[in-house]
Structure 1
Amino acid sequence: MLFPLQRAGAERWTPTRLLLLSCILLLAFTLPAMAHGIATGDKGYIQEISGINLIPFMYLGAKHMVTGYDHILFLLAVVFFIYKSRDIGIYVSLFAIGHSTTMLLGVYFNIGINAYLIDAIIGFSVVYKALDNMGAYRVWFKYQPNTRLTTLVFGFFHGFGLSTKIHEYDISPDGLVPNLLAFNVGVELGQLLALSGILIVMGYWRRTQTFWRYAYSLNTTMMTAGFALVGYQLTGLFLSL
């Protein structure tokens, strides 16, 4: 944990360099996230079919997770300082249990939550975890929250985010449960694919001296991207009222 006393050898970026990196990351993550909704072609296809269609729903679930930059940012923040495969498995499993539970319940029981509000909470989850990685809560509150519990809780919110997107598909009730399970399997496959890429990059980066030099700055940038996501969604909520 690096905040506020960074590890020896760590380098604080100048405001100009940090701003430049923030802009690059915001363009890479925030702009696609703004368009992160239901593709017209996908929605039209789902509305035209009925019955059990496992493969199409698995594909849609995987596509949603891989292109879900808010989910990927949170995953990156969660595994940022986790090195052991067992611990990574525990945290990823908690996240999967959380978002799978609320996604399935949210769709099956038709629980409606404002998409802007839930996506703002998802953006906040990125802010929260980046600050946790920086050790902010131990400094500010002299207390370290239970990281496993918070991963599970935010997983619940991410699941409601998924369920709000599924509601937009207007899925036929015929074959609903098998199709939802297939969608969830696709989400997990997409998550594994995204996580594999993250861990490969992180594994190489951690072997270099630049990891501890720039870990603080990257978490600061992730926090900035999370705030941007929150601001965008709250603006959308305000304009929709």
Structure 2
Amino acid sequence: MCTQLLVRMSCIVLAVVASFVMVSQPAFAHQTAVSTLNVEVRPDKREVDMLLAISPDDVTDHLKLDPNGDGWVDQSELPYLEPAIGSYFEEHLQVTNNGQVCQPTHQDFVDMGRRMASLLFRKTVQCDDALGEVTLTNEVMLASKNGYTHYGQIQIGKDIHTTVFNRDTSSYTVQVGADGQAASEQSFWDVFVQYIWQGVLHIVLGIDHVLFVLCLLLAARRFRPLLVVVTSFTLAHSITLALSALEVLTLPPTVVEPLIALSIAWVAVELLLEAKKPADASKDDEEVGPPLHLYALTFAFGLLHGFGFSYVLRDEVGLPTDALVPALLSFNVGVELGQIAIVAAAFPLVAWARGREWGSKAIKVVAALVLLVSVYWFVTRLM
């Protein structure tokens, strides 16, 4: 056991060295092409509050901001770029009430006290008259070469509305009634469906979680062990997702995010070690499963990933104050549905690959690539 532990740590250390080499080189510009816009309409104050969460790489690439001309933007450069970025956001995020432009009363970047994957920009506007036909316009990044998509969530009292801002639909209009509620109220089922979509979206777009699930699938080999492993992961991340989203128990993201990356690296090393073991001819292939300790590790790592899910739900998506439980439950259901979709799509392909002569070599290559990527994330998240 000690020998295996040393081997795992040695592999991770080697990958760290390779990752430092990768980090030292300028990164190629890329765009995630997706962000979130959370809006709270406050009829009693005639206010509309907007919180935009967007990748800093996307914005700086689009605006061609590169202070030192090295081909990429470092986190340390962002404070110097915020005035230009903030001015761009302010111009491309607008609210009108009955056709009249509402004037900003507050706008700045939200300092979460931690390094985030997203820039958080808040803009609050106040309208002259009582809120009626409120139109939100979001044109941030819509003129980019490859287009852009913003997933919007609008809260008006107890009602939650969702929409998509893109080149075809850059605005969204809601009618606020005399009672301060939306003219068409949303049911429990509407909120449930909307947060399910947010959960699916996060697990599918969260490449680190996708790679972890993929590694579990490769390690389990067969369906029954895979079911146990995935169930263990599900139970664990459901616990910490609820506790952290409700702020009952929280851990700083500066600790959790690097450990999530390390958990992926660890499982990738498990795959590499398992692939080196000679096949046991006395066992039927159906009996082969993951090493027993992987079940416990999966549960422990699931707790870490649950904290990761909660940061997105709490800080970027947001929880409606009057529907905490259904929103939290449906977000978790969405995460599970996204996870099931990933497994359902990948499992037949993996099973087919295992039956080929080159199958074991392909799994080694995938595990090695996942190891390098995850340790690269570990290094960058510590910086």
How far the C-alpha of 1:76 sits from its partner, in A, is 1.2
The yes-or-no answer on 1:165 pairing with 2:165 is no
- 1:85–1:127 CA distance, 2 compared to 1 (3 A): same
Q: What secondary structure, in the 3-state scheme, does the structure 2 residue paired with 1:151 have? A: helix
- The gaps in structure 2 that reach 5 residues or longer are 5-18, 33-53, 56-116, 121-137, 139-149, 160-187, 278-290
- The corresponding residue for 2:242 is 104
CA contact (8 A) 2:243 2:250 kept: no
Measure, in 2, the Cα distance between the counterparts of 1:49 and 1:189: 29
- The corresponding residue for 1:134 is 272
The alignment's C-alpha RMSD in Å is 3.3
- The corresponding residue for 1:220 is 368
For 1:82, the aligned partner's letter is A
Higher RCO (CA 8 Å, separation ≥ 6 residues): 1
Q: Deviations over 1:94-147 (max 9, x none)?
A: 0000111110111123544333432211111111001111228x99xxxx7711
- The corresponding residue for 2:336 is 188
Q: What secondary structure, in the 3-state scheme, does the structure 1 residue paired with 2:219 have? A: coil
Give the alignment partner of residue 210 of structure 1, picking from 349, 358, 361.
358
- 1:110–1:132 CA distance, 2 compared to 1 (3 A): same
Measure, in 1, the Cα distance between the counterparts of 2:119 and 2:310: 12
| TM-score normalised over the length of structure 1 | 0.74
- The corresponding residue for 1:155 is 302
How far the C-alpha of 1:45 sits from its partner, in A, is 1.1
Q: Which has the larger radius of gyration?
A: 2
CA contact (8 A) 1:103 1:163 kept: yes
Q: What secondary structure, in the 3-state scheme, does the structure 2 residue paired with 1:225 have? A: helix
Q: What secondary structure, in the 3-state scheme, does the structure 2 residue paired with 1:197 have? A: helix
The yes-or-no answer on 1:230 pairing with 2:368 is no
How far the C-alpha of 1:73 sits from its partner, in A, is 0.6
Q: Deviations over 1:159-205 (max 9, x none)?
A: 01001111113322211011100111111000000111121221221
CA contact (8 A) 1:47 1:170 kept: no
Give the alignment partner of residue 345 of structure 2, picking from 188, 197, 200.
197
Give the alignment partner of residue 113 of structure 1, picking from 231, 251, 262.
251
Give the alignment partner of residue 212 of structure 2, picking from 55, 69, 74.
74
CA contact (8 A) 2:220 2:229 kept: no
For 2:253, the aligned partner's letter is A
- The gaps in structure 1 that reach 5 residues or longer are 4-18, 236-241
CA contact (8 A) 2:233 2:298 kept: yes
How far the C-alpha of 1:46 sits from its partner, in A, is 4.9
Per mean C-alpha deviation after superposition, the further-off stretch among 190-199 and 73-82 is 73-82
Measure, in 1, the Cα distance between the counterparts of 2:119 and 2:235: 24
Measure, in 2, the Cα distance between the counterparts of 1:204 and 1:58: 31
Q: Deviations over 1:50-96 (max 9, x none)?
A: 35411110000011011111111111111213232111100000000
- 1:188–1:37 CA distance, 2 compared to 1 (3 A): farther
- 1:48–1:66 CA distance, 2 compared to 1 (3 A): farther
Measure, in 1, the Cα distance between the counterparts of 2:236 and 2:214: 17
| TM-score normalised over the length of structure 2 | 0.48
Measure, in 2, the Cα distance between the counterparts of 1:170 and 1:197: 30
CA contact (8 A) 2:320 2:327 kept: no
Per mean C-alpha deviation after superposition, the further-off stretch among 53-62 and 195-204 is 195-204
For 2:192, the aligned partner's letter is L
Q: What secondary structure, in the 3-state scheme, does the structure 2 residue paired with 1:45 have? A: strand
- 1:61–1:49 CA distance, 2 compared to 1 (3 A): farther
Give the alignment partner of residue 198 of structure 2, picking from 49, 60, 66.
60
Measure, in 1, the Cα distance between the counterparts of 2:362 and 2:271: 13
- 1:167–1:78 CA distance, 2 compared to 1 (3 A): same
Q: What secondary structure, in the 3-state scheme, does the structure 1 residue paired with 2:298 have? A: helix
Q: What secondary structure, in the 3-state scheme, does the structure 1 residue paired with 2:319 have? A: coil
